Amino acid sequence: MKRQTGRRSAMRRVPLGASGIEISEFVFGAGSIGGVGTSTSTRGFGLNAEEGFERLDEAWELGINIVDTSDSYGGGESEKVVGRWLHERRPADAIVSTKVGLISNPDGSRARDLSAKHIERRLARSIERLGRVDLYLSHVPDPGTPIAETLEAFSAAQDAGAIGAYGVSNVDHALLEDILRTADAKGLHRPVTVENRLNLLDRGDEAELLPLVVGEGLGYTPFSPLAGGVLSERYLDGAQPEAGSRIAVAGHLYYKGFHSPDNLEKVAALREVARELAASVSGLALAWLRDHPAVTAPIVAPRTSAHWDAVREAMEIRLDEKQHARISDIFR
């Protein structure tokens, strides 16, 4: 595999809440390496190992210093490829983030396990694959395990130096409130960040969760910033999803409801704003999310080298308050 070349770009760094950790203003999401997300039905539709190395090299050269993966992405292939990339490239200040708790069974069903034993066992395997784990997140809530047990396991791993800090993913306001309350009551380390879905077509976290995130000094790294590609010019003017695209492969799993006439009408309105600003729809959608007052850094997962153009564009766009509000109003 070809080694990275070229001069590294200077991407802006931002604080991850009050954690003391600094990350780039965009996160590289490795969820498409080995498959698309966690489902067994989408294995082989994502990036192969060579393509994964290429996207990781490109992310690093763009100035991204944090990689987000999970022990369940691509059946573990994502962690393995990221681990090989870290071992070969040895990026000096890279931050490695992975997740635990979501299990994809061979029959296509899913299970959740955030028990202390499962966390301890899977963390050891993630460290073996990745070399280290800086941020460790619960992937999904596990109603079958007491919150205190999960938090004690994360806190113990942090005390032991096995992880630098931990966070949570796919949580709602009530659960996050319960998690913080439990950690405080038991004198445990608190989570430092939240990883949920947020984009112009899914703003459900804005009403309750994000005020709590901001008020408690937590980081927030949203995934699916372009809604599987719907927040781009790709599906406008009657264009249909191409074979192999995220909407075609995993629309029924991860992007339900995004590709709809009503949403496409809103995206067409966004295109008019983008034209005024001499920007692309995807670049503007990423800039809107990056400039959201509650967002630390969006997670981007380009499938091809050309898809980085939207990220580069967003790096240059700085929306003022009026422009941000105008875009928000289109997607109320």
> Could you tell me which residues come within 8 angstroms of residue 70 by beta carbon, excluding any fewer than 6 positions away?
31, 38, 78, 79, 98, 99, 100, 102, 139
Q: 44-66 pLDDT, tens per residue?
A: 667 999 999 999 999 999 999 99
Handedness of CA 236, 237, 243, 248 (dihedral sign): positive
Residue 38: band (very low, low, confident or very high) from pLDDT cuts 50, 70, 90: low
Q: 193-252 pLDDT, tens per residue?
A: 999 999 999 999 999 999 999 999 999 999 999 998 999 999 898 767 676 565 555 555
SS3 25: coil
pLDDT of residue 60: 97
- pLDDT of 36 > 90? The answer is no
Domain ranges of the chain: 13-230+293-318
Domain 13-230+293-318: which CATH number of 3.90.1300.10, 1.10.1370.30, 3.20.20.100, 3.40.640.10:
3.20.20.100
pLDDT of residue 9: 74
Q: 136-167 pLDDT, tens per residue?
A: 999 999 999 999 999 999 999 999 999 999 99
pLDDT of residue 1: 38
Cα 263-39-52 angle, rounded to 5 deg: 90
Report how far residue 256's alpha carbon sits from residue 224's, in angstroms, rounded to the nearest whole number. Answer: 12
In this prediction the pTM is: 0.92
